Structure formats: structure tokens, C-alpha cells
Amino acid sequence: MQQLILASSSSYRKSLLDRLCLPYTAHAPDIDERRLPGETPDTMVRRLSESKARAISTLYPDNLIIGSDQVAIIDDYILTKPGNFAAAQQQLRRQSGQKVRFLTGLALLNSANGSSQVDIITTDVVFRMLKEEEICAYLERDEPYSCAGSFRSEGLGITLFDAIHSSDPTALIGLPLIRLCQMLRNENYKLL
């Protein structure tokens, strides 16, 4: 049976993949993740998901390689990872009372034959109206500076929302496990 490789250094993606109790190796790809001129968010997340998997395929020539990427969009504006308190505070102010769409790309590359499956799972997050003191208290406690949208839904960030709409709740955290399992079954990979 082919081995699983996770093309990521993300602790969130590793934690999610651990839920499946499958053996895998994680290897961080070295790719340029900047948006190309004129590239739509959908196209970008598909491209980056597959590029991450293909970037390490020569190192793992007979494996199933998982690549994933995520962007958050509000009013046609892409929210990035804030990196610090001030940027996160600004993002949460902007999201207060709004709906934010998260596009989570997923690619499964069979490096033995070069075939790939690529998909996007959409998650809509409806933020409640946030008070300034709530934003500051949340950021000080959860420190979500490495997360697109400035929150961790698997943690205290859940208190910021009125609703989450998705066909796969793990997509919002960064790796859509329901869709990944479907892709693995398509490759005749034994999950149970």
C-alpha cells in the first residue's frame, strides 16, 4: 500500500490528519504562496494545494501526497494571516457582523502515476457583532496570529460566531477530512 505524505508544516493540519489514525510523514514544501496577478481566490487555492503536493513528489515517487491551502474572503478582499495583534484586531473589526467565506483547497497526488484529485470546500462563517473589548480579550487569550481571519474555530474563536455553514467542519481548521477520505477511497486506500 502506498504511504501517505502530508505536504505541510502546519500543526493544525497534522492534528487533523492524526484523527484518521493513519501512518503518514509530514514534509514542508518550499513554494511561493503569493497570489498571481489576476488570479481568482478559487484558482489560487486550487493551484497552491496541488503545487504543495507536486513540490515534494520527486522526494516521494510512489506515494499519496496531500496538499492543502486556505484563503478567507470578505467583500472580495482576501484576509491573510495577520502576524500580530494590531493586524488581527483590524481583521476582526472588519469581520464583525459580517459573513466571511473560507475556501479550503485539497489535493491528493498519486506520485506513482502523476494523477491528482483537487477540490475546494467552502465554509461560510457568520460573525456576530463584536465589541472592541471582546476582540482584545479574545486576541490576548487565543493569539491566532498565524490563522487566516484571525481566529481559531477549534478554540475560543467559536465564541465570535453566530453560525458556521459547511459540508465538512474540519475544512475551516485547514484540512477537509471528509473530502480527503473520499479521495483516498478513490485511490483504493484502506481507511479502516
CA 180, 55, 14, 63 dihedral sign is: positive
CA 156 – CA 137 distance, rounded (Å): 10
Active-site residue, selected from the candidate residues 18, 42, 69, 162: 69
Task: Please count the residues of the chain.
Answer: 192
CA 59 – CA 94 distance, rounded (Å): 42
- Provide CB contacts within 8 A for 192, sequence distance 6+: none
Pick the closest to residue 150 from 163, 138, 166, 162 (CA basis): 138
CA 135 – CA 123 distance, rounded (Å): 22
Tell me if residue 92 falls in helix, strand or coil. helix
Helices 132-142/85-95 angle, 10° precision: 130
69 is catalytic: yes
Provide the annotated active-site residues. 69
